[in-house]
Structure 1
Amino acid sequence: MNNVTNRSADLSCSREPPVAIEIIRHLNVFDIILYSILTFMAAISILVFIEECVYIYRKVPAHKKSLIIWVNGAAPVISSMSCLGMWIPRAVIFTDMTSACYFAVVVFKFLIMMLEEVGGDEAFLMRAGKHKLRISTGPCCCCCPCLPHVAITRRTLFLLKLGSFQFALLKIVFTILSIVLWYNKNFDVADTSITGASIWIGPFVGILTIIALWPVAIVFIHLRTTLQTRKIVPKYALYQLVLILSQLQSAIINTLAMSGTISCSPPFSSQYRGYMLSQQLLILEMFIITLVTRMLYRRQYDPLPIEEEVPDDNENTKMVAIPSSA
């Protein structure tokens, strides 16, 4: 009992996160091997991404290059930022926010990429002009099957794009605001009081995230059959997996650390030990996702065949035909 009390009272459990040189001094043999392997994985992720960028610039049409590069870069960017956060704990708030901002842009880019895969906005409207869009899907309205179907028009397409673009823009705005407040000692993720800035910014950004994911899910369900030959289902699954691991997993681990479930381990306090565990897991997970992403996106980007323009019977479960006015 005394040992537990002494450990909880250890000053190293309540101080600021250590600097990089202090981490190096505390590394034992196991830590040296672990940090070396994870750093190697992060470096390989970056090299694989660079090689993929070279391939995309050589083989992919010009209007798709930047979109595919942005989407491919999600896992390598998160992996590299996590590696920096692992070695420099005092920079964790910046590395996490950089990863979150990048993924916010990826959400919008993934939506545009699906549209470009069918030929762009005009081709999308031409293919879907005789159908209605089912909007009773996650993450907003999966429990509302009674919602009316929406006609696919230019205005509808604009609203879908706007729903995802607002997250890419406002996430960056709130990130800058959070950093400014953090420097002014007004922002602390561990502060859950009603007067804390994080208790207001966090849930609001969460709402923006849900709103942004909704249009992507709507378009994916609509084009799932049309883009089946483009392996859109596994691509969407990887996109969702990156979201879950980088946002939900990290939030759970950080919550456990702030509640004291994850004990402190000098030179790390409970909170920053949770951050370190999260960073290390992300490096491993994003390394695997980077390799799988390379296999999915490394292909010839030919136009869709003409016969794919007519939706089959399976696609009628996602779209409802507009009755002709006679």
Structure 2
Amino acid sequence: MDDLNSTVHPSCLQEPPLAIEVINRLDLFGIVLYSIFTFMSSVCFLLYLEECVYVYRKVPPPKKTTIMWVNGSAPVIATMSCLGMWIPRATMFTDMTSNSYFAVVIYKFLTLMLQELGGDEMFLRRNKNNKFRISTGPCCCCCPCLPFVPVTRRLLFWLKVGSLQYAILKTALSVFSIVLWTNGNFDLSDLEITGAAIWINPFIGVLTITSLWPVAIVFMNTRNTLRSLKIIPKYAMYQLVLVLSQLQAAIISILSLDGTIACSPPFSSSARGSMLSQQLMIIEMFIITLVTRLLYRRTYDPLPMDITENDNAHNTHISLTASPAQEDTV
């Protein structure tokens, strides 16, 4: 074991380097690369600010607040990834900030679909005679035997609670993890049964799956109604941000802990894996920001009423106009 450790560069066993160490070791290619990534994250943030101004002026409340939250997921992740790239020792803080923000976005996307349908009352009115299929991902996609559930106020309440719990608990657990880290009890690379990370991270995974299920239920049962509002590509972008920010980052972290991603002084294997993940994330979030800008930067007209509702309104109008004529005839 001593012979093995003697062949390993000392920096591969140390903490991530300081920001000044990263800057001092950059060659011409590194300076150009870091400049490009910083430019991309800055463009994401500026485009988001411009879109917030547009949405604030053109979209009525409370929908404009929800759109700002949902549309900010990619720029926030890109900005946090850029900070983590320049300051490697802040990676845990930037990642937790991004994940906590996206936890709120999951709930906000559910709220956005309800607001596109006219709000809670209109949603219940449109679907009062319908039943929702709940055998959807990520929880019950392989359980087609589950019964269809009638749309009631109680169902809407539990759908909201299912998404909101992740936004609250994820933020609370992130703060708790930082507190444990300052005391030396939380380390992502510590996979021992006595470590805090091995207990907190799987619990967060369960909360994530639980929060995604209500969003999938509402989307799968209302996508045809909201098709004219481009809800399908919006949902695809939301899912893409989820996969890239959660699954991709987890895979790279596992590869770095396994040693597949080699150490490159002054970066250890885990620090280099985090750096590669952040650089990939900046590129991906830059592209997603451009796409979501085309989807959300538009005028928002109210969704037309259903055909049955139009028929009922038309029949009511005919009966009201016919009544005076009948009285005159009598």
Q: Find the counterpart in structure 2 of residue 261 from structure 1.
A: 260
Structure 2, gaps ≥5 residues long: 310-330
Deviation at 1:29, TM superposition (A): 1.3
Q: Which residue of 2 aligns with 1:30?
A: 29
Q: Is contact 1:139–1:214 with CA below 8 Å preserved after alignment?
A: yes
Look up the match of 2:171: 172
Matched, 1:40 2:47: no
Deviations 1:28-54 (A, max 9, x none): 111111100000000000000000000
Equivalent pairs, count: 308
In structure 1, how many angstroms separate the alpha carbons of the residues matched to 2:30 and 2:231?
A: 39
What's the CA shift for 1:5? 6.0
**d(CA) in 1 for partners of 2:185, 2:161:** 31
**Contact in 1 for aligned 2:135/2:146 (Cα 8 Å):** yes
CA contact 2:126–2:306 (8 Å) conserved in 1: no
Match of 1:230 in 2: 229
Give the conservation status (yes or no) of the 8 Å contact 1:264–1:273: yes
CA distance in structure 2 between the partners assigned to 1:113 and 1:58 by the alignment: 18
**1:85-104 pair list within 5 angstroms:** 85-104=84-103
Q: Structure 1 pair 300/308, CA: closer, same or farther in 2 (3 Å)?
A: farther
SS state of the match for residue 138, structure 1? coil
Equivalent residues of 1:115, 1:124 under 8 A apart: yes
- Cα distance change of structure 1 residues 8 and 111 upon mapping to structure 2, 3 Å threshold: farther
1:62 corresponds to which letter in structure 2?
A: P
Name 2:55's counterpart in structure 1. 56
Q: 1:54 to 1:5 in 2, by over 3 A?
A: same
Could you tell me which residue of structure 2 aligns to residue 80 of structure 1? Answer: 79
* Residue matched to 1:241: 240
Task: Provide closer, same or farther for how the CA distance between residues 7 and 72 of structure 1 changes in structure 2, counting only shifts above 3 A.
Answer: farther
TM-score under structure 1 length normalisation: 0.92
TM-score by length of 2: 0.91
Residue 180 of structure 1: SS of its match in structure 2? helix
Q: Tell me how large the CA RMSD over aligned residues is.
A: 1.5
TM-aligned CA deviation for residue 8 of structure 1: 4.8
| Distance in 2 (alpha carbons) for counterparts of 1:38 and 1:8 | 34
Q: Assess if the C-alpha contact under 8 Å between 1:85 and 1:279 holds in 2.
A: yes
Aligned partner of 2:118 in structure 1 is 119
1:205 maps to: 204
Q: How much has 1:128 moved relative to structure 2?
A: 0.3
Q: Distance in 2 between matches of 1:221 and 1:7?
A: 57
Give the conservation status (yes or no) of the 8 Å contact 1:226–1:309.
no
Q: 1:178 to 1:210 in 2, by over 3 A?
A: same
Greater Rg, structure 1 or structure 2?
2
| 2:304 is the alignment partner of 1:305 | yes
Task: Evaluate the alpha carbon distance shift between residue 211 and residue 6 of structure 1 in structure 2; reply closer, same or farther with a 3 A threshold.
Answer: closer
1:218-277: per-residue Cα shift (whole Å, max 9, x none)? 000111000001000000000000000000000000110011000000110001000000
Cα 1:8–1:124 shift into 2, 3 Å: farther
Q: For 2:308 and 2:25, how far apart are their aligned partners in 1?
A: 61
Structure 1 spans left out of the alignment, 5+ residues: 311-326
**Alpha-carbon spacing, 1:308–1:104, altered in 2? closer, same or farther (3 Å):** farther
Q: Deviations over 1:173-198 (max 9, x none)?
A: 10011000000000001111111000
Q: Label 1:273 to 1:221 Cα distance change in 2 as closer, same or farther (>3 A).
A: same
Question: Measured at CA, do residues 84 and 170 of structure 1 come closer, stay the same or move farther in structure 2, by a change above 3 Å?
Answer: same
Shift of the 122–24 alpha-carbon distance from structure 1 to 2, 3 Å rule, reads same
Partner SS for 2:273: helix
